[in-house]
Amino acid sequence: MLAAFLSGLERFEVKDISAPKCGPDEVVVRVMACAVCGTDLRIFLHGHRKVKLPWIIGHEVAGEIFEVGSNVRNRFPHIKEGLRVQVVPGISCGRCDECLRGLVCSNMRAIGYDYPGGFEQLLLVPSDAVATNLLPIPDGVSFVEASLAEPISCVLNGQKIIGGIGLGDTVVIIGVGPMGIVHGKLARLQGAYRLILVDISDARLDLAKKFFGTDEVFYINSSKEDEVEAVMDVTSGRGAEKVIVACSSASAQERALSMVRAYGKILYFGGLPPQVPAINFNSNVLHYKSASVYGTFGSTVLQQKESLELIARGFAKGLITHEFSLNEIEEAFRTAIEGNALKVVIKPWGDGS
């Protein structure tokens, strides 16, 4: 089978390797689609403390069951060859306080980090993930669409952490890449009255216009105008109820403090590169505004199930702009980095089955 190894920074090597052996408590999934995540891009460019190269990354996986271990077949008769599944990458311990509270596990291990990831043709699903992490794909949902369940679920988790979006809220989204678009779509579903979308790229802002139009949606290129002044102008000096930073930018996280209104909430959705992990934080802004800042990472199995249900109702329409074969993976990553794409998806078996 073919597998794409990240062999060094900004370098993939596609190899023909032996297929994984399926143990009695394991499952092998034929990977039909694996989407490229912003975290994958950061690993590609900067590395990751949990990823020792060469390694197979990729965690936004959809495919079909290829092989089922004997014990799995006996214990879980619904898991059978040919079943179309989305693979939840995060494997929870089930014992920590966070797991018991229905939150993202503090001891989570993950496909693409602790286990080989989805940029390969056949993926071995560890035994402790078989019972909970294989979600059936609804009828009518393609593999490519289903690969977006994990990133959409991260947006669900983030907006849950800030208490959801209220009816009539003004929501600022800084960073209008694929996750910024998903944040905007979900905010609209929850009743946001006004969206203010901020980015440094006219191309990305133009892509966003195809989703949101211009009815109470404002587009700000922060490389051409002061985004704080623009937000304050749109909101008559009050600021926004919710400010979501959906990009890996320290300056964006800092500027968000000046955009939030009294008693508003800020969500730091994108992590920062390890070279610049800290920001200048004016805590007096939060103190005198009685505002709050939240961080978010990952999602739960239940939220990924909810994502699949959203996708089945058309939520992912238009989010996938580029598809590549496994042999084209470096081109795929370059396309995602250039910023003119939304979701980029790798199809390890090409268009055939």
Q: What angle do CA 59, 64, 68 make, to 5 degrees?
A: 100
Mean pLDDT confidence for 331-340: 91
- Per the prediction, the chain carries an average pLDDT of 94
The dihedral over CA atoms of 216, 160, 340, 350, expressed in degrees to the nearest 10, equals -130
What are 295's strand-pairing partners? 268
What is the predicted pLDDT for the residue at 280?
86
Compute CA 36 distance to the chain's CA centroid, rounded to the nearest angstrom.
9
Cα separation of the two ends of the chain: 14
Interval 290-322: pLDDT, tens: 999 999 989 999 999 999 999 999 999 999 999
Residue 290 burial (CB count, 10 A): 9
More confident residue, 273 or 129: 129
Q: Burial, 167: exposed, middle or buried (Cβ in 10 Å; 0-12, 13-18, 19+)?
A: exposed
Report the percent of the chain where pLDDT is more than 70.
99
Mean pLDDT confidence for 329-349: 93
**pLDDT of 352 over the 70 cut:** no
Instruction: Give residue 353's pLDDT band: very low, low, confident or very high (50, 70, 90).
Output: very low
Lookup: tokens for 184: 């905007």
Q: How far is CA 17 from CA 26, 111, 220, in A?
A: 19, 18, 48
Q: Is 166 helix (H, G, I), strand (E, B) or coil?
A: coil
What is the predicted pLDDT for the residue at 275?
74
What are 266's strand-pairing partners? 243, 293
Mean pLDDT confidence for 233-248: 96
* Upstream peptide bond of 54 is cis (omega within 30 degrees of 0): yes
Q: Which CATH architecture has domain 158-295?
A: 3-Layer(aba) Sandwich (3.40)
Q: Give the ranges where 191-237 is alpha helix by DSSP (H).
A: 202-212, 227-234
Interval 22-68: pLDDT, tens: 999 999 999 999 999 988 998 998 888 889 999 999 999 999 999 99
Mean pLDDT confidence for 17-24: 96
CATH superfamily to which 2-148+319-347 belongs = Medium-chain alcohol dehydrogenases, catalytic domain (3.90.180.10)
What's the CA gap between 248 and 38, in Å, rounded? 9
Instruction: Give residue 122's pLDDT band: very low, low, confident or very high (50, 70, 90).
Output: very high
pTM, rounded to two decimals? 0.93
What is the predicted pLDDT for the residue at 273?
74
Lookup: tokens for 100: 């018991």
**pLDDT of 145 over the 80 cut:** yes
Render the burial of 252-267: b for 16+ CB within 10 Å, e for the rest: bbebbbbbbbeebbbb
DSSP 91: E
Of the candidates 193, 188, 258, the one whose C-alpha atom is nearest the C-alpha of residue 222 is 258
Q: How far is CA 157 from CA 161, 172, 181, 300, in A?
A: 6, 18, 15, 8
The domain segmentation of the chain, as residue ranges, is: 2-148+319-347, 158-295
